[in-house]
């Protein structure tokens, strides 16, 4: 079965929809918008073409005054650095939280294993006690049968003695 791919028109339409909603038009967002299909390379080339068609690379576009572009670039770099610091900090916090959670889980697993071992030991003890009770019950049943036999023999002897007298 042929694979349904993407084409320039689909990517342009998706880019127009994203832009109309005020969302960033990126390769990842475009790929999501077209149904998670198409390679990043293909979508990237269509995105470049869309930007060129939509005026992003328009030579008639107004140029920034001298110094603004450099200042903007410095601002972006500072923002990027701050963002990278925040991401690193958040990642470190999440790593710390994950490690603490893992430690708690390991402790709980150890407690559970110890509890299971304790329960298994108690079960063995109860099984041994039950076996002992069964053995005693069997011994008592055997003694009862023997005593009933002896009682019956005594009744017969008594009956015989009564019959002679």
Q: What is the full DSSP assignment across 127-148?
A: HHHHHHHHHHHHHHHHHHHHHH
- pLDDT tens, 102-133? 999 999 999 999 999 999 999 999 999 999 99
Q: Is residue 101 in a domain?
A: no
Q: Indicate whether this model's pTM tops 0.75.
A: no
- pLDDT tens, 74-109? 888 888 888 889 998 999 999 999 999 999 999 999
Q: Is residue 64 in a domain?
A: no
DSSP 61: S
Q: Is 125 helix (H, G, I), strand (E, B) or coil?
A: helix
Nearest 5 degrees, angle CA 98-CA 104-CA 110?
135
Torsions phi, psi of 59, nearest 5? -65, -20
Q: Is residue 10 in a domain?
A: yes
Q: Does the pLDDT at position 57 exceed 50?
A: no
pLDDT given at position 63? 61
Domain boundaries, position 21: 1-56
Structure token digits, residue 78: 């500072």
Q: Is residue 98 in a domain?
A: no
pLDDT given at position 162? 85
Q: How many domains does the chain have?
A: 2
Q: Domain ends where: 36, 56, 76?
A: 56
Q: Is residue 26 in a domain?
A: yes
Q: Is residue 122 in a domain?
A: yes
Q: Is residue 131 in a domain?
A: yes
């Amino acid at each position: 079965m042929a694979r349904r791919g993407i084409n320039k028109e689909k990517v342009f339409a998706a880019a127009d929809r994203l832009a109309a909603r005020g969302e960033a038009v990126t390769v990842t967002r475009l790929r999501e918008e077209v149904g998670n299909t198409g390679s990043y390379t293909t979508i990237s080339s269509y995105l470049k073409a869309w930007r060129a068609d939509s005026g992003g690379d328009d030579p008639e576009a107004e140029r920034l005054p001298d110094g603004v572009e450099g200042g903007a670039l410095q601002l972006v770099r500072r923002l990027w650095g701050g963002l990278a610091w925040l991401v690193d900090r958040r990642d470190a916090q999440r790593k710390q939280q994950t490690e603490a959670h893992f430690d708690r889980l390991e402790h709980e697993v150890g407690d559970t294993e110890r509890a299971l071992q304790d329960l298994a030991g108690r079960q063995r003890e109860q099984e041994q006690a039950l076996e002992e009770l069964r053995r005693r019950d069997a011994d008592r049943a055997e003694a009862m049968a023997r005593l009933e036999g002896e009682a019956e023999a005594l009744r017969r002897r008594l009956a015989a003695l009564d019959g002679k007298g």
